[in-house]
Amino acid sequence: MESVIVVGGGLAGVRAVEALRNQGFEGEVTLVSAERHRPYDRPPLSKAVLAGDRDDTTVEADWEALRVRLLLGERATGLRPAPGGGGTLATTAGDLDFDGLLIATGATPITLPGDGPQHVLRTIGDALALRERLTAGARVVIVGAGWIGAEVATAAAAKGCEVTVVEAADTPLANAVGPEVGALTAPWYAAAGVTLRTGVKVAAVEPGGLLLAGGDRIEADEVVTGVGVRPCVGWLEGSGLLVERGIVTDASLRVTTEDAARGGPGTVRPDIVAAGDCAAWWSGRYGRRLLVEHWDTALNAPDVAVATLLGREAVYDAVPYFWSEQFGRMVQYAGHHPAADRLLRRGDPAGDRWTVCWLAGDRLEAVLTVGRPRDLVQGRRAIAAGARVDPEALADPAVAVRDAVRS
């Protein structure tokens, strides 16, 4: 293998370039990024950048030592894999031939119908533009009470905006952690002076506000849409790669061909791998395909993808992890809870420090902590180990999570 292209200039992209050099690849490396900025961290955009504490979140990297050709502001437009390996990446800068390809094109925000202006929060430009509009007294309406919606509401309320959050589900975070746990966060909005309206569907964004499904309107100076993202995979149409929400990969992050979708066995391409928000990877731990659109995956999956690309045995099967800073609280989540059949609490959710644990039988499946980082660290280790716990001990906040693990 003499040439590798990394397509996607986010965190996963720069970590892939670093992994190539750290793992001994001496050939030509090209990074193709649709953004004109050098790779930067996205989590601070809805936190420190909106708050005005930071203007730049560029990822530190020694580009000279990495010996990488940077094609910034250039977009991938198509892919033609060669039958015997390698292929051609079509881009706005022209066709680029490769021996190995790592796809890390990330995701794009979902927008709502209507001809009114709406902000999304995905790029540094988005964050800086929105920050300018968050002024005292401005009527800010946020659609979506998920992680991003809560963080934007936090920043807007702190700047003296009149903030309303509209959520189609009956509780905040219903899709992420379920309605029972999501409901525990609802009081945070009122305490911060934010109006939370749940069970409300939006028909369209119009000039001056929102048109709701029932015909009512909410007037707004600024509308922020935070209803999720979609993997950026449209450019792969006609490539022969299997895309189902994200790019389908095996546990080693090798892409799968479309033969599998037509009832055939499908094949994997060891010369094409995917990582980050665009990759739907097979998890042996959970026995299903996961699409995890969080920073931790973009940080760590590229090491495995690069090892696979270079012909080494490697598997990515991390415990999903995410954190959020909202309304003065640090919220952390680790695991994957759909298989859980029991929910228990550690501490009083009316307070500032509590934990929720999901169990399948006596196995810890997932943990969400508010102001209890030690619970998160120990819980994450227990989940990774497939540990079984004593539920009665785990429910006692005075007992360390690790001490509730059965020997």
Write out pLDDT tens, residues 18-57: 999 999 999 999 999 999 999 999 999 999 999 999 999 9
Residue ranges matching CATH 3.30.390.30 in the chain: 330-404
Quick one: pLDDT at residue 267?
Answer: 84
Instruction: Give me the sheet containing 217-219, strands edge to edge.
Output: 202-206, 209-212, 217-219
Helix (H, G, I), strand (E, B) or coil at 19: helix
Asked if 391 and 342 touch (Cβ cutoff 8 Å), the reply is: yes
* Cα angle: 369, vertex 374, 378; to 5 degrees: 95
Closest CA to 19 of 265, 400, 402, 303: 303
Per-residue model confidence as pLDDT tens digits over 207-234: 999 999 989 999 999 999 999 999 999 9
Cα–Cα dist 251/261, whole Å: 18
For residue 135, what are the CA distances in angstroms to 47, 120, 219? 16, 17, 16
Per-residue pLDDT band at 143 (split at 50, 70, 90): very high
State the fold for domain 111-225. Answer: FAD/NAD(P)-binding domain (3.50.50)
**Hey, which CATH number is domain 330-404, 3.40.640.10, 3.30.390.30, 3.30.70.120, 3.40.50.300?**
3.30.390.30
Looking at residue 259, its pLDDT comes to: 73
Q: Is residue 1 a contact partner of residue 27, using CB atoms and an 8 Å limit?
A: yes
Q: Angle 42-208-186 (CA atoms, 0-180°, nearest 5)?
A: 55
Architecture (CATH level 2) of domain 3-108+230-309:
3-Layer(bba) Sandwich (3.50)
Instruction: In whole angstroms, give the CA distance from residue 357 to residue 205.
Output: 38
- CATH 3.50.50.60 range(s) for the chain read 3-108+230-309, 111-225
Residue 262 reports pLDDT greater than 60: no
Over residues 59-77, the mean pLDDT reads 96
The number of CA neighbours under 13 Å toward the Cβ of 276 is 28
Rounded Cα–Cα distance for residues 367 and 348 (Å) = 15
Residues above pLDDT 70, as percent of the chain: 98
pTM of the model: 0.93
Model confidence at 245, pLDDT cuts 50, 70, 90, reads: confident
The pLDDT tens digits of the residues spanning 299-350 come to: 999 999 999 999 999 999 999 999 999 999 999 999 999 999 999 999 999 9
Mean pLDDT within 98-117: 97
In whole angstroms, give the CA distance from residue 285 to residue 316: 10
CA-CA-CA-CA dihedral for 203, 208, 209, 211, to nearest 10 = -30
What's the rounded Cα separation, in Å, for the pair 289 and 261?
Answer: 15
Q: Do residues 110 and 280 make contact, with C-beta atoms less than 8 angstroms apart?
A: no
d(CA 299, CA 10): 10
Q: Is pLDDT of 266 > 70?
A: no
